[in-house]
Amino acid sequence: MPLRKIITYPDTVLRERAEPVTNIDGKVQQLIDDMADTMYHAPGIGLASNQVGEPCRVIIFDISPKNEPHDLVVLINPEIVEADGAVVSEEGCLSVLDYSAEIKRTACVTVKGLDREGNTITLRKEGLPAIVLQHEIDHLNGTLFIDHISKLKRELYKRRLKKILKKKESSVQRL
């Protein structure tokens, strides 16, 4: 399966709200397979479709240990229907370069959606799976984890990112 380019902040596509999937066809199946290959190659533990430039409501995640078989979870049109408790944990993101921060999330969530065959599924998760679900669903709504940090920290990150991007740009050889 081809690897997709992971879109990074500040690309505006990350701020767009993804559209519901109305037909789980071969194109959606291919997207799911491509997303899985891309996520595992990155490596990451979760990916939302708009992170690879497809503004539809598809997320995947796999929090299985590296030395165990993959346990890929696919959710189409996921929606948080219940949430309780609070937890603070360190988060990073494949679309937010070189940054992680402590983020306050809901400790336990119930999410409804469709599996890749179109069957309705309900997941009740806590701990890391709950955090990953919230993080990826945020992506579908155009929200990044850095939107959950203070404005000051976000501005400091933006300044640092500009330097990183400028350095990358200056290191590209001109033809």
User: How many residues can be counted in the chain?
Assistant: 175
Q: Is residue 4 part of a domain?
A: no
Q: Is residue 23 part of a domain?
A: yes
Q: Is residue 6 part of a domain?
A: no
Quick one: tokens of 9? 């902040």
Contact 136, 159 (CB under 8 A): no
Higher-scoring residue by pLDDT: 55, 166: 55
Quick one: tokens of 157? 């990150």
Edge-to-edge strand list for the sheet holding 73-84: 46-48, 58-61, 73-84, 108-114, 120-126
Q: What are phi and psi of 82, to 5 degrees?
A: -155, 140
Answer whether residue 67 shows pLDDT above 80: yes
Q: Give the pLDDT confidence score for residue 173 in this predicted structure.
A: 53
pTM as predicted: 0.92
Q: Find, among 124, 116, 1, the residue nearest to 59 by Cα.
A: 116
* Residues designated catalytic: 136
Q: Is residue 89 part of a domain?
A: yes
> Based on the structure, what is the number of domains in the chain?
1
Q: Give the pLDDT confidence score for residue 174 in this predicted structure.
A: 53
Quick one: tokens of 139? 């992506």
- Name the 3-class secondary structure at 13: helix
By residue range, what is the domain housing residue 20? Answer: 12-171
What mean pLDDT comes out for the span 31-59?
Answer: 97
The pLDDT tens digits for 122-132 are 999 999 999 99
Q: Is residue 52 part of a domain?
A: yes
Answer whether residue 70 shows pLDDT above 80: yes
Q: Is residue 1 part of a domain?
A: no
Q: Is residue 3 part of a domain?
A: no
What are residue 135's DSSP bridge partners? none
Q: Give the pLDDT confidence score for residue 164 in this predicted structure.
A: 83
Q: Is residue 5 part of a domain?
A: no
Q: How confident is the model at residue 17 (pLDDT cuts 50, 70, 90)?
A: very high
